[in-house]
Structure 1
């Protein structure tokens, strides 16, 4: 290592022998253990390891010149850390505070711009749907918060505060007044409980829904399979071949899917699905079969409950709250179907699409295992506690 600076040689006496340092290092057992840990630690900063090596060598009686030669350092470096340890012990090995460049922005200015990022632009009369870092910087200057600032500086501040106003995520507030109680019934069934009592071996839980508007799109030109240096290519243009609906009933605890294909959704095709499930073992001889459904038109309202109870006395229809399809386990199966068997869409006609769906259903049933559902009543309560009441909006004035 090249040693820079004026003092590069060890002090020597008139006879040419190195002068012993006046700072004699004697370590306590605790200090020695700490320094050895720094030397041997795999995640220790290099500079901290070197400083520990210098002090350990000094404690072993090494001169500054010998330590510098052994470690490939300047003599001044060895002298500096020997002196600092002698004066401040382990604390003396830490870097001293550095003045650095003066701060250009005060904490108040940083807080003001962060607060501005947390407000929607439209609330202050700015014709924007959301802020960008550059627009925040421009607005901060226009408001006199700062005299000048760059968008990259604002972006760094917001990154430290985990605020990204240029992003957005859709959500919907629970509108069902009985949201918790309705959702809890389904969660209890997933946990094999109904009205406080455990389900028996001849009780089954079905999660059912329909996947509508599945399109048979036919690409105008064949795609290219993946190869070295390129991914799979799918033709952009297509011809429409119509739509169909896929009704599926997912046995929650046995991971089996029973499905039917229909031209469109409706009460009649859902009734056909129910009949197919309820006449197939083991559901045909079950003591009870609970059907968890959302509030789609094919199975909505009290009328759907009455229809099922009349047609199938052992079946019980359980409605989820409005806008709670995310609690319906069959939606997980639908996402797997879409990702693995349908996307990217390229089918000659509706028959080819239906054949693919039902073939995937058989393949899925051959090796599926139940979903590891972990969302419980406790999690539901915690989620609802995080949601504030929705804002009250005043009706718009009538047009003149």
Structure 2
């Protein structure tokens, strides 16, 4: 004859706690299942019936029935795992985080794992894990400069509005110049990349002159109108505007997103714009080149072509740039702008609040 199971009865407090564990979203799945097992057993059902009801094995039901009868609610919690208990205390973690954020080591500008390990008495690997957990990277530093433009908000709304909802019967072009692009000739030929060894280039070079790349990036299709000039004065910018005027169909208005460089506001440019009423200038806020999409295009030019360039003349450099831009226009890549002006301003407000608060 099979042995009769011990009767499993619950107090009101135990039942309420088990129901909370079974239903609460933040409970672990294992604890929720164990709670349902005990609740089902408390109805008088057999282990077999509970196993069928919850779609689990009978030994699992028997295990947690027995654990609950022996230890009650405490029996449903996992046993401590084997192994050495943690040796780093909460106070030590807090000390490392606070020291990283609010101090610098002696005779150094920032903490390293080695220096923090010496200060705290913890291992370098432990320091690394703490920094990773709190997303602290003392070895990194990014540059920034907040705009002091009194019309910052208005300009952000203006430019972002063009990106998200461009006007009909018009083309929106992000315009700028990548000035002083140098034709650099390395002093020695490069060593090609080999398995286990990156490409090697000499650190010294000979300068063979400079050129400036004028570019107008079409936000709709990613195509680029470009021009190369040895200088980047108002005269060259006016020539570039004339080129844009000839390449954009006459029935379209032209909205240009530009920065606040002096050549863009020169009297000769204003006079040219007055005689070409279909052109409309939109200026980005000061120190806000990130909002001009052509800067992302220039980053591609730099990474793909200029960063490892080796040119013996300006003419050779300009030929390669023209070739690169032509290839770009054969397979253009428009950039998808997703953030609204409100989201940008809210993000900047959060950043200012965090950085200003950190200093107090």
TM-score, length-scaled by structure 1: 0.67
Aligned CA distance change for structure 1 residues 224 and 98 (closer, same or farther; 3 Å): closer
What is the CA deviation profile of residues 301-354 of structure 1, one whole-angstrom value per residue up to 9, with x for unaligned ones? Answer: 7x4763342242221111100111111111121112222233311122111110
Aligned 8 A contact 1:23 1:82 in 2: no
Aligned 8 A contact 1:293 1:299 in 2: yes
Residue 94 of structure 2 aligns to a residue in which SS?
Answer: helix
d(CA) in 1 for partners of 2:301 and 2:53?
Answer: 59
d(CA) in 2 for partners of 1:29 and 1:209?
Answer: 75
Equivalent positions of 1:267-346 (< 5 A) are 267-282=234-249, 285-300=250-265, 303=267, 306-346=270-310
Aligned 8 A contact 1:31 1:90 in 2: no
| Structure holding more helix per residue | 2
| Residue number in structure 1 paired with 2:47 | 27
Tell me if 1:168 matches 2:141: yes
d(CA) in 2 for partners of 1:226 and 1:31?
Answer: 63
Unaligned ranges ≥5, structure 2: 7-40
Aligned 8 A contact 1:305 1:316 in 2: no
d(CA) in 2 for partners of 1:280 and 1:159?
Answer: 52
Q: CA deviation at 1:92?
A: 5.1
Aligned 8 A contact 2:212 2:229 in 1: yes
| Residue number in structure 2 paired with 1:133 | 113
Aligned CA distance change for structure 1 residues 86 and 287 (closer, same or farther; 3 Å): same
Count of residues paired in the alignment = 317
Aligned CA distance change for structure 1 residues 85 and 321 (closer, same or farther; 3 Å): same
Aligned 8 A contact 1:305 1:317 in 2: no
Aligned CA distance change for structure 1 residues 84 and 189 (closer, same or farther; 3 Å): same
Q: CA deviation at 1:218?
A: 1.8
What is the CA deviation profile of residues 150-179 of structure 1, one whole-angstrom value per residue up to 9, with x for unaligned ones? Answer: 444333333222223333222222222221
Q: CA deviation at 1:233?
A: 4.6
TM-score, length-scaled by structure 2: 0.74
Q: CA deviation at 1:388?
A: 2.0
Aligned CA distance change for structure 1 residues 30 and 163 (closer, same or farther; 3 Å): farther
d(CA) in 2 for partners of 1:185 and 1:299?
Answer: 18
Aligned 8 A contact 2:215 2:224 in 1: yes
Aligned 8 A contact 1:55 1:85 in 2: no
Tell me if 1:200 matches 2:168: yes
| Residue number in structure 1 paired with 2:80 | 97
Q: Return the match for 2:317 from 350, 353, 359.
A: 353
What is the CA deviation profile of residues 35-80 of structure 1, one whole-angstrom value per residue up to 9, with x for unaligned ones? Answer: 63xxxxxxxxxxxxxxx68537xx7xxxxxxxxxxxxxxxxxxxx8
What is the CA deviation profile of residues 211-241 of structure 1, one whole-angstrom value per residue up to 9, with x for unaligned ones? Answer: 1121111233444555666554545543221
Task: Select the structure of larger CA radius of gyration.
Answer: 1
d(CA) in 1 for partners of 2:49 and 2:292?
Answer: 63
Q: Which deviates further from its counterpart, 261-270 or 157-166?
A: 157-166
Aligned 8 A contact 2:212 2:231 in 1: yes
Aligned CA distance change for structure 1 residues 277 and 109 (closer, same or farther; 3 Å): same
| Residue number in structure 2 paired with 1:159 | 132
| Residue number in structure 1 paired with 2:98 | 115
Superposition RMSD in Å: 3.5
Aligned 8 A contact 1:187 1:376 in 2: yes
d(CA) in 1 for partners of 2:122 and 2:88?
Answer: 9
Aligned CA distance change for structure 1 residues 33 and 368 (closer, same or farther; 3 Å): farther
Aligned CA distance change for structure 1 residues 111 and 354 (closer, same or farther; 3 Å): same
d(CA) in 1 for partners of 2:82 and 2:195?
Answer: 54
Q: CA deviation at 1:382?
A: 2.0
Aligned 8 A contact 1:224 1:233 in 2: yes
